[in-house]
Amino acid sequence: MVGNVSLGSVRACLEGAIPAVMATCSSDGTPNIAYLSQAFYMDERHLALSFQFLNRTRANILSNPWASLLVLHPVTAAYFRLGIRYLRTETEGALFEGMKAQLAGIASHTGMVDVFHLRGADVYEVHCIELLEGNPLPAPAPRGDLLNAVRRTSERLVRCISMEDVLNATLAALNDYLHIQHAMVLMLDSVTERLYTVASCGYATSGVGSEIAMGHGVIGVAAQQRTPVRIMHMTNAYRYSAVTRSSLQEVHPDLALQVDIPWPGLANPRSQIAVPVLSAGRMLGVLFAESPNDLQFTYEDEDVLVAIAGHLGSAMDLAQLTPEWGDSPSDGHGTPPVSGKALQVRHFKANDSVFIDGNYLIKGVAGAIFWKLVQDFTLRQRSEFTNRELRLDPGLGLPDVTDNLEARLLLLQRRLAERGPWIRIEKTGRGRFCLAVQRPLELQESP
Amino acid sequence: MDAAPPLLPPELVALIADGISAIVGSSDATLRPSIMRAVGSAITPDGATVTVYLARRQSRQLLQNLSSTGRIAVVFTQPHSHRTIQVKSGHVRLRPADASDQPVLQRYLAHMEHEIGLVGFDAAFTRQMLAYDLADLVAVSFEPSDAFDQTPGPRAGGRIGAPSQGGA
């Protein structure tokens, strides 16, 4: 034993560049050696190893829980040997799903897709760690920029006063301080149990409003299990297809309209990471990043993104709580004249989807909000609104406490901006906005 | 021993003779396992005797277990193909390595630089991974009594050759 070695200092050895090897011993004393596809850092005292096969190792640890694990640092070639003891096997939940996603990537990378299948996550307690004698190669320069990246991101986020600020600041910080070029923030719709994209950067289309189901791909698994999911070698099993289906066509089979917003993500990502965004114990959404290169996100990037996601969650919650009364909406403040050919706005009650001149705009709560706004605009000549009145409107179906109204308004605002200049949502103050309409609206309601 | 049929088919003997990754394990009287990578290996042309080289400074517990219990397991792996074989025995012979072992060790290192290079690590890394001081090396020789195919896949764990009593 050379000094005291923390399990954290061995994490680089567990990234899969060089597989760990493990010795176990049967009850008659016969030793056995096995290569491990995956060794997963849990905390300073625990490791999880992938259980894939009913083999000799399996039989041994069930009868004699002691094992000796040998790992190699992928840069310095320093050896570490860990004395570990088998505790239990998990076959569901955050640890299992996180390992399963990662193993799928490893299997794809090593040509073992048909062979590697995670039966369970074997949890081991770490009893001792030895750094073996040797003359290791120079260690890579520590990434001292990471703590600074967290600090700078935090400094940006604490200055934000609206949801839009918070999202812009987060994506800009990822870009500026972590050189992450492709990222998204998705919010959880707690009613439909789906995640919708509310902000993105680095894609050909913003994809704002596109949806991911709980449990689907790294984002859906991260949200469902409330755990970070990181894949260093991408695999088809976790790849998102560009098109996701909607249920509207089941209600209106005759409807030939495009009702889904295409997923904006990379066509051929090689690395992905998804981190749940929580605040006060509630799932708010997911922070997601991807790259066209293998091995892009290390455990250090994961640590940084988890820390940033914590700030992001608090900042989002605070943006929702920002006082929003103050002045009552002042109408007549120069509503611009409406002219030209009428826009046809069609609303489907079945799922609150809205189409403008036959082009899909939005659905769900954001669709219901938009329908209320355009009705008030055409029937009551109103163009100034407050968040508070939306929050109190029983017709919108906003869940009481966790309504994410700011996020839904931002989604609607961005979708409108992408569809052209004729209808816009403009912030006019804290918790206040106006609907700026340049052409007459022709409203049509369908079941 | 002299009349025993060869356990390993010629192609596996050739694979091991080439010089591929070798991980060595043993266990103590209380059934605690021990493990280390060998810095060299050799096999007689008939496959009857395997020798692995261990650095004392990195393998103290393992060498102690080998000399006290005689139990040994060695996994040979060709990294890029995942081809994996495990051999076991209940009896080992230990001796200090000397100058006569140098050619074997140098040939092993040269092959390993090539093998590890195929999975993306340069020669400097492999040399460090297999670094040793000849005076610190112990040669561990044994006659495999059991051999198993451990290449990942449906045949993993299958026994190679005739089983012996008290196998793994």
Cα A411 to Cα A405: distance, rounded to the nearest angstrom: 10
Q: Over 50: is that where the pLDDT of A3 sits?
A: no
Nearest-CB residue to B124 (from A24, A132, A137) = A137
A21–B35 CB contact, under 8 Å: yes
The predicted structure's pLDDT at residue A101: 81
Q: What is the mean pLDDT of chain B?
A: 91
Q: Over 60: is that where the pLDDT of A67 sits?
A: yes
Q: What is the mean pLDDT of chain A?
A: 86
Pick left, alpha or beta for residue B159 (phi over 0 → left; psi -120 to 50 → alpha; otherwise beta). Answer: beta
Cα B160 to Cα B150: distance, rounded to the nearest angstrom: 10
Instruction: Count interface pairs A-B at CB distance under 8 A.
Output: 115
Number of domains in chain B: 1
> CB under 8 Å to A156, separation ≥6 — which residues?
A169, A172, A173
Cα A349 to Cα A363: distance, rounded to the nearest angstrom: 10
Q: Give the residue-averaged pLDDT of A373-392.
A: 91
Distance from CA of A35 to the nearest CA of B (A): 9
Contact residues, chain A, for B88 at CB < 8 Å: 30-31
Q: Over 70: is that where the pLDDT of A322 sits?
A: no
- A254-276 pLDDT per residue, tens: 454 556 788 888 888 888 999 99
ipTM for the complex shown = 0.94
According to DSSP, the β-strands at A182-189 and A282-291 are antiparallel
B35–A55 CB contact, under 8 Å: no
Alpha helices in chain B (DSSP H): 10-18, 60-69, 102-118, 123-129
Distance from CA of B100 to the nearest CA of A (A): 24
Nearest-CB residue to B37 (from A26, A28, A70) = A70
Q: Over 70: is that where the pLDDT of B132 sits?
A: yes
Beta bridge partners of A298: none
Q: Residue B130 CA to chain centroid, in angstroms?
A: 13
DSSP A162: S
Q: Over 60: is that where the pLDDT of A332 sits?
A: no
According to DSSP, the β-strands at A343-348 and A441-446 are parallel
- In a domain, residue B163? The reply is no
Report CA-CA distances (Å) from A289 to A174, A378, A423: 9, 41, 31
Q: Give the residue-averaged pLDDT of B152-166.
A: 68
CATH number at residue B122: 2.30.110.10
**Number of other CB atoms surrounding residue A147 within 10 Å:** 12
Please, which pLDDT band fits residue A232 given cuts at 50, 70 and 90? confident
Is B41 part of the contact surface with chain A (CB cutoff 8 Å)?
A: no
Contact of A274 with A283, CB cutoff 8 Å = no
**Number of other CB atoms surrounding residue A280 within 10 Å:** 9
Nearest-CB residue to A134 (from B58, B77, B153) = B58
Q: Which CATH code for domain A7-131?
A: 2.30.110.10
B31–A66 CB contact, under 8 Å: yes
Geometric angle at alpha carbon A275, from A270 and A278, rounded to 5°? 165
Nearest-CB residue to A33 (from B23, B125, B129) = B23
Distance from CA of A27 to the nearest CA of B (A): 7
H helix count then E strand count, chain A: 10, 20
More confident residue, B48 or A295: B48
Contact residues, chain A, for B27 at CB < 8 Å: 23, 25, 29-31
**If interface means Cβ-Cβ distance under 8 Å, which residues of chain A face chain B?**
18, 21-35, 53, 55-56, 64, 66-70, 72, 76-77, 79, 81, 83, 110, 112, 115-116, 132-137
Tell the burial category of A187 from Cβ atoms under 10 Å away from its Cβ (0-12, 13-18, 19+). Answer: buried
B82–A110 CB contact, under 8 Å: yes
B33–A24 CB contact, under 8 Å: yes
The predicted structure's pLDDT at residue A242: 46
A67–B27 CB contact, under 8 Å: no
The predicted structure's pLDDT at residue B167: 39
Q: Give the residue-averaged pLDDT of A169-194.
A: 94
Cα A175 to Cα A201: distance, rounded to the nearest angstrom: 9
A25–B152 CB contact, under 8 Å: no
Pick the CATH number of A145-321 from 2.30.110.10, 3.30.450.40, 3.40.630.10, 3.90.700.10: 3.30.450.40
Contact of B90 with B21, CB cutoff 8 Å = no
Geometric angle at alpha carbon B123, from B120 and B126, rounded to 5°? 85
Nearest-CB residue to B77 (from A31, A35, A132) = A35
Contact residues, chain A, for B68 at CB < 8 Å: none
Of A206, A209, A145, which Cα lies nearest the Cα of A176? Answer: A145
Which helix (DSSP H) or strand (DSSP E) does residue A107 occupy? helix A94-109
* CATH 1.10.10 residue window(s) in chain A: 343-446
Please, which pLDDT band fits residue B146 given cuts at 50, 70 and 90? very high
* CATH 3.30.450.40 residue window(s) in chain A: 145-321
Expressed as residue numbers, the domain containing B112 is 10-152
A77–B129 CB contact, under 8 Å: yes
- What tokens does A258 get? 């495009």
Most confident residue range from A256-260, A438-442, B62-66:
B62-66
More confident residue, A268 or A85: A85
Cα A264 to Cα A166: distance, rounded to the nearest angstrom: 21
**Number of other CB atoms surrounding residue A382 within 10 Å:** 16
- In a domain, residue B79? The reply is yes
Q: Which CATH architecture has domain A343-446?
A: Orthogonal Bundle (1.10)
The predicted structure's pLDDT at residue A66: 98
Q: Over 60: is that where the pLDDT of A245 sits?
A: no
B125–A137 CB contact, under 8 Å: yes
Please, which pLDDT band fits residue A248 given cuts at 50, 70 and 90? very low
DSSP3 helix / strand / coil % (chain A, rounded to 5): 30, 30, 40
Residues for chain A: how many in total?
447
**Number of other CB atoms surrounding residue A272 within 10 Å:** 29
